[in-house]
Every structure is written in structure tokens, then in C-alpha cells.
Amino acid sequence: MSEFHNLQELRRSASLANKVFIQRDYSEGTACRFQTKFPSELESRIERTLFEDTVKTLNTFYAEAEKIGGQSYLEGCLACATAYLIFLCMETRYEKVLKKIAKYIQEQNEKIYAPRGLLITDPIERGMRVIEVSIYEDRGSSGSSSGSSSVSVSTAR
């Protein structure tokens, strides 16, 4: 298993081997939720509980952003009364939570994922469709087989 101490070392000495995509979970509707099923490609790289915790926390953040309750009703009514002009002036609740999510993902990457040669991409950069987990190999030990896997991905099209 590749070990890296931090993001800087990952950048210098690693090459991208593969990408794993965690899909959306639509069992409860169109609200943003990701599947917590542990992908087999990550079995040798990270503990199951750590990964599941990350996905569950992200799901909690998204549920908080999309929560329909007293506060959202009030905001909706106020917005309607102002012909929705407040959306141009104010940061919406969703945007505030997205910033928290970006911070959380950065923190997780620095503390947990980069030392294991993994990187999580913020779902907002993939249209909230997937959580993209990039798997890196140590450039010195990768060899031709894993280094060519990302090339074969793009040439297979």
C-alpha cells in the first residue's frame, strides 16, 4: 500500500492510477444522498468505517442544506415578497452549507485520504452526481500496469 505523508508529497511523487465513483442514492427521493456501500477498489487502501463515516457526514450536510422546515418556509415567503431579489444580495442557506462541505472535504483529504494515497473530489464539481475518489500510486513503484490504466480509460472511448 502506498503511503504518503501529506498532499505535497502526493503531488510530487504519485501518479493517478484509477478513479472510483460513488453514485447517488435515490431510495428516498431526489434529495442529495450518496450510497454508503464500500467500493471494492478501496478495500486495500482505507478502512471501511473511515470511508463510511465520511460519506455519512456528507449526507448529513446535504440533508441540512435541503431541509424543509420552519426556517425555509420563512425564507421562501420573504423571498417571494421581495420578488426573489434577496437571492441576488444574500448568500443562500445552501451556499453556506456548501462552503462547510468544501472545508470538510479538504480537512478529510489532508488528514485521512492523502496519507493513504487517495483524494476525494467535492461532488459539486461533478454536478452533485458522484463522489469521485482518485487512487494514486507511488510513481516509483507503479510500473507500467497501473500507470496505463488511466490511459486505457480515455482511449477505450
Partner 1 sequence: MKNCDYQQIDPKVVPTYASPSHIGTRGPRRVRRKWEVFPGKNRFYCGGRIMMAQQSGVLPLTLGLILVTTGLFFIFDCPFLVKHLSSCVPVIGAVLFVFVFITLLQTSFSDPGILPRATLEEAANVERQIDSSGNSSYRPPPRTKEVLINQQMVKLKYCFTCKMFRPPRTSHCSLCDNCVERFDHHCPWVGNCVGKRNYRFFYTFIVSLSFLTSFIFGCVSTHLAMSTTQQKHSFSYPHASFLWFRVMFELVICFFSVWSILGLSGFHTYLVASNMTTNEDIKGSWSGKSGDVATNPFSHRNVFVNCCSVLCAPLPPSLIDRRGILPVEEESAQMCHADIQLPANKNQRNMVGAPAHHPLCLKPHSKLKAELAAAASACLSVVKVWLSG
Is position 119 an interface residue for partner 1 (rule: CB under 8 A)? yes
CA distance 82 to 150: 50
User: Any contact of residue 121 with partner 1 (CB under 8 A)?
Assistant: yes
In the complex, minimum distance from the CB of residue 24 to partner 1, in angstroms, rounded to a whole number:
7
37 binds partner 1 (CB under 8 A): no
What is the helix (H) or strand (E) element at residue 102, kind and residue range?
Answer: helix 93-108
Cβ neighbours of residue 11 closer than 8 Å, sequence gap 6 or more = none
Beta carbon of residue 115, minimum distance to partner 1 (angstroms, whole number): 14
As a whole number of Å, the CA-based R_g of the chain is 19
| CA pair distance 85, 61, nearest whole angstrom | 26
- Contact status: 17 vs partner 1 (CB under 8 A): no
**144 near partner 1 (CB under 8 A):** no
The CA-atom distances, in angstroms, between 49 and each of 22, 36, 43, 57, 117 are 15, 10, 11, 12, 17
List binders of partner 1 among 62-91 (CB under 8 A). Answer: 65-68, 72-73, 75-77, 79-80, 83-85, 87
Residue 22 as a binder of partner 1 (CB under 8 A): the answer is no
Q: Is 135 exposed, middle or buried (0-12, 13-18, 19+ CB in 10 A)?
A: buried
Which residue among 56, 92, 100, 148 contacts partner 1 (CB under 8 A)?
92
- Binding region for partner 1 (CB under 8 A): 7, 10-12, 14-16, 19, 21, 24, 26-30, 65-68, 72-73, 75-77, 79-80, 83-85, 87, 92-95, 98-99, 102-103, 105-106, 109, 119, 121-122, 124-130, 132, 134, 136, 139, 150, 153-154, 156-157
